């Protein structure tokens, strides 16, 4: 058994207590170890992705107990890609936090950051639904700490809302897991896939309720309208690097939906047929529309970015709810794009804030280093709004192409195109107010000299933007890879047989007895 | 037995949801706690209700109770306990900071005195 697959969980799990216990009062050492940990994560994640790229499904049985009795970690193409995406985003966000001094404005930033990564990695790698719940809680409790990092009343109030909403989501998750266990007697995803298919068609009430409950839970994580109310305040009030890292958290919800609704409640399953097109699709369309209208209506730059996250999740969910191999490939391409773009936009809004009183979209004196910041905002806004030439445009084309044969294609195309227009207007208005109208304002002579963001901050944002450009330039290979992932998801036999047929220590013949 | 457990879950959930819809943090936290109690009992019941049976393999025993829900409940209790403690601390911080414990956003966020630029 190869142990590398548990490394993305173990590395941050060891790094975080080390930072808290040994390097408590030494910010320099904390920074070094935190960055080293994330670099190690990237290396391991790249290795895992290379290993999974030929279709191998890597299985890790914790304690050597065979599934479904023990908990398993499974590394297939989808989970390893998400792990790599998380660790790459984490590196740039961490560099920004160091460059901008955010990690110095409160205590234990680096330790919480590592715990957060541990939870996200675990959620991507686990093959067991209850374990998914546990890793959700790990990432949530770390995110509560990060969310209120460096304090402030507005942030604490937003933190209370965020924690309460997520506690409610966790409770709902437990209700869903309880009903699934009561109906099937297992929580291992591969085992569930087999047992759900065996349920008597006359007695499917319980499992259908469970499937909808589970969808609700993941929709809360993915901030799908009408379950999105926790997102705008908490993402806008969270420290910028934390909000940028949270860009991956909504994708955890999207990932969980893709995983569970292709393996367990797969599209051919009669008992949950129609769930995605009847319920998920309209909610996704409304999400996209509301998110982009929110972009236009936002009064503050960070709220604008938060609403654009909701809109881009709507786009992802439209693609997921079509639930065909083509649409899942498009959704995965768009997930990578929107994670990078949202992360970059949150960091840019913090660059803007360093030179301004606040982030209200009102004309204020020019921000320090405004030219570079403005160019970065321009690039990131183009990507997020989905204009050519950046990857948002390609992602949108892929989603629209996937929707071409679907029912209600007119609705889908209309919502996507009109909401794109709205978001372009919203971003253009915000950019021109923040970066252009400032020229007409006389700077206040008594105002303190604005501080210019450090080179490292710019480098971190530039890195994310460079990744977006690379995501556009190498769109062909990336899309081929996501198509491969989708093909693997829609033929889950390898996954199921690897998980269920690998013997553990209980099934080995006893030697020497 | 079934009636007792089912109605207990129902009453706890109903009370929890009612309290959760209140405007101030203290009743909302109580409501969340009631909901977690309800879900703990619910998880217990998900392994079928068996009275007086051992959960571990023993010689000469025919009937067992399902041990897995007990492990799940234990995990859920620990997690919900920790989470409740966290939310109490954050809510207390928010209350002491802004002298107001409403859960919703203030009507005009920009006019709030305690808002800082960091």
**pLDDT, tens digit (0-9, with 9 covering 90-100), for A458-506:** 999 999 999 999 999 999 999 999 999 999 999 988 899 988 888 877 6
User: What's the mean pLDDT in B101-110?
Assistant: 69
Return the closest-CA partner of residue A370 out of A358, A378, A362, A360: A378
| Percent residues over pLDDT 90 in chain B | 46
Q: Which ipTM did the prediction report?
A: 0.89
Please tell me the predicted confidence (pLDDT) of residue B98. Answer: 82
Which chain A residue lies closest to B82 (C-alpha atoms)?
A: A141
Length of chain B: 118
- Collapsing DSSP to helix, strand or coil, A72 comes out as strand
User: What's the mean pLDDT in B37-46?
Assistant: 91
How far, in Å, CA of A255 to CA of A238, rounded? 23
Phi-psi label, residue A152: left if phi above 0, alpha if psi -120 to 50, beta otherwise? left
pLDDT in tens, A268-309: 888 887 888 888 999 999 999 999 999 999 999 999 999 999
CB A327 within 8 A of CB A315: no
How far, in Å, CA of A176 to CA of A188, rounded? 14
**CA dist list (Å): A16 to A12, A20, A143, A227, A459:** 6, 6, 14, 32, 25
The encoded tokens of residue A195 equal 């047992």
User: What's the mean pLDDT in A379-389?
Assistant: 91
Return the closest-CA partner of residue A106 out of A277, A297, A238, A293: A238
- Interface contact A178-B42, CB threshold 8 A: yes
Q: Does B68 touch chain A (CB under 8 A)?
A: yes
Interface of chain A toward chain B, CB-CB under 8 angstroms:
105, 130, 134, 137, 140-141, 144, 148, 150-154, 156-157, 159-161, 163-164, 167-168, 170-171, 174-175, 177-179, 181-182, 233, 353, 357-358, 360
CA distance A419 to chain B (A): 27
User: What's the mean pLDDT in A200-221?
Assistant: 89
CA dihedral A310, A398, A275, A273 (to 10 degrees): -170
Q: What's the CATH code, domain B2-48+65-105?
A: 1.10.287.3510
Judge whether residue B118 has pLDDT over 60: no
Close Cβ partners of A313 (under 8 Å, ≥ 6 residues apart): A222, A223, A224, A250, A254, A287, A291, A338
pLDDT in tens, A440-467: 777 666 666 667 788 899 999 999 999 9
Whether a cis peptide bond, with omega within 30° of 0, leads into A399 is no
**CA dist list (Å): A168 to A136, A139, A217, B13, B31:** 13, 15, 9, 12, 10
For residue A395, the Cα-to-chain-centroid distance in whole angstroms is 16
**CA dist list (Å): A194 to A191, A249, B80:** 5, 29, 31
Which chain A residue lies closest to B79 (C-alpha atoms)?
A: A137
The encoded tokens of residue A284 equal 């996704």
CB A340 within 8 A of CB A89: yes
Domain ranges of chain B: 2-48+65-105
Judge whether residue A174 has pLDDT over 90: yes
Judge whether residue A141 has pLDDT over 70: yes
Let me know the angle formed at the C-alpha of A35 by A30 and A41, rounded to the nearest 5 degrees: 130
CB A65 within 8 A of CB A506: yes
- Collapsing DSSP to helix, strand or coil, A298 comes out as coil
Which residue bears the tokens 């009561």? A182
Which residue bears the tokens 């709030």? B112
Pairs of residues, one from chain A and one from chain B, whose beta carbons lie less than 8 Å apart: 115
User: What's the mean pLDDT in B46-59?
Assistant: 84
Residue from the list B46, B87, B109 with its beta carbon closest to the beta carbon of A164: B87
Please tell me the predicted confidence (pLDDT) of residue B108. Answer: 58
pLDDT in tens, A46-81: 999 999 998 889 999 988 888 788 899 999 999 999
Q: Show residues of chain B in contact with A171, CB under 8 Å.
A: 32, 35-36, 39, 80
Please tell me the predicted confidence (pLDDT) of residue B111. Answer: 45
Please tell me the predicted confidence (pLDDT) of residue B109. Answer: 52
The encoded tokens of residue A349 equal 């809004």
Could you write out the three-class secondary structure of A11-32? HHHHHHHHHHHCCCCCHHHHHH
């Amino acid at each position: 058994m190869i142990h590398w697959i548990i490394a993305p969980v173990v590395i941050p799990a060891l790094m975080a207590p080390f930072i808290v216990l040994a390097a408590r009062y030494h910010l320099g050492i904390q920074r070094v170890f935190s960055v080293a940990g994330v670099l190690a994560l990237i290396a391991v994640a790249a290795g895992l992705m290379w290993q999974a790229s030929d279709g191998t499904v890597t299985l890790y049985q914790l304690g050597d107990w065979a599934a479904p009795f023990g908990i398993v970690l499974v590394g297939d193409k989808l989970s390893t890609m998400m792990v790599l995406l998380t660790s790459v985003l984490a590196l740039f966000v961490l560099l920004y936090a160091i460059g901008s001094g955010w990690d110095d404005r409160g205590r234990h930033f680096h330790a919480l950051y590592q715990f957060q990564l541990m939870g996200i990695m675990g959620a991507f790698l686990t093959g067991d639904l209850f374990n998914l719940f546990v890793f959700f809680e790990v990432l949530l409790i770390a995110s509560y700490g990060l969310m209120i990092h460096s304090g402030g009343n507005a942030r604490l109030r937003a933190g209370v809302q965020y924690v309460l909403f997520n506690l409610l989501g966790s409770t709902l998750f437990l209700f869903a897991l309880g009903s699934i266990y009561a109906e099937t007697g297992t929580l291992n995803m591969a085992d569930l896939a087999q047992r759900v298919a065996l349920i008597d068609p006359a007695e499917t009430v319980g499992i259908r309720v469970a499937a909808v409950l589970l969808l609700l839970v993941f929709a809360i994580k993915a901030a799908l309208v009408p379950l999105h109310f926790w997102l705008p305040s908490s993402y806008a009030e969270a420290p910028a690097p934390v909000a940028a890292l949270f860009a991956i958290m909504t994708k955890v919800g999207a990932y969980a939906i893709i995983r569970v609704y292709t393996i367990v409640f797969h599209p051919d399953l009669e008992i949950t047929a129609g769930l995605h097109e009847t319920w998920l699709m309209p909610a996704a369309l409304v999400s996209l529309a509301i998110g982009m209208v929110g972009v236009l209506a936002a009064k503050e730059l960070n709220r604008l970015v938060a609403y654009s996250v909701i809109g881009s999740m709507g786009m992802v969910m439209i693609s997921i709810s079509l639930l065909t191999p083509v649409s899942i490939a498009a959704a995965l391409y768009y997930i990578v794009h929107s994670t990078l773009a949202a992360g970059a936009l949150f960091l840019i809004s913090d660059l803007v804030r360093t030179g301004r009183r606040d982030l209200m979209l009102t004309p204020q004196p020019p921000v320090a280093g405004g030219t570079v910041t403005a160019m970065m905002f321009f690039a990131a806004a183009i990507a997020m709004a989905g204009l050519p030439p950046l990857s948002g445009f390609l992602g949108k084309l892929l989603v629209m192409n996937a929707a071409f044969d679907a029912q209600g294609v007119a609705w889908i195309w209309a919502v996507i195109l009109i909401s794109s227009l709205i978001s372009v207007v919203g971003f253009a208005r915000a950019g021109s107010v923040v970066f252009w109208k400032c020229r007409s304002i006389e700077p206040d002579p008594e105002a303190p000299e604005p501080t210019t963001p450090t080179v490292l901050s710019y480098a971190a944002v530039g890195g994310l933007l460079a990744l977006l450009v690379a995501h556009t330039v190498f769109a062909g290979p990336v899309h081929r890879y996501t198509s491969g992932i989708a093909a693997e998801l829609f033929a889950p036999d390898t996954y199921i047989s690897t998980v269920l047929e690998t013997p553990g220590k209980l099934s080995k013949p006893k030697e020497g007895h | 037995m079934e009636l007792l457990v089912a109605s207990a879950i129902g009453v706890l959930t109903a009370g929890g949801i009612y309290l959760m819809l209140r405007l101030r943090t203290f009743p909302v936290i109580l409501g969340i706690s009631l909901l977690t109690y309800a879900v703990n009992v619910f998880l217990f019941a998900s392994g079928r209700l068996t009275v007086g049976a051992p959960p571990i393999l023993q010689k000469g025993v025919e009937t067992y109770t399902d041990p897995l829900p007990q492990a799940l409940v234990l995990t859920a209790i620990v997690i919900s306990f920790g989470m409740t403690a966290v939310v109490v601390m954050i809510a207390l911080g928010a209350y002491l900071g802004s002298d107001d414990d409403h859960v919703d956003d203030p009507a005009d966020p920009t006019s709030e005195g305690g808002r800082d630029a960091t």
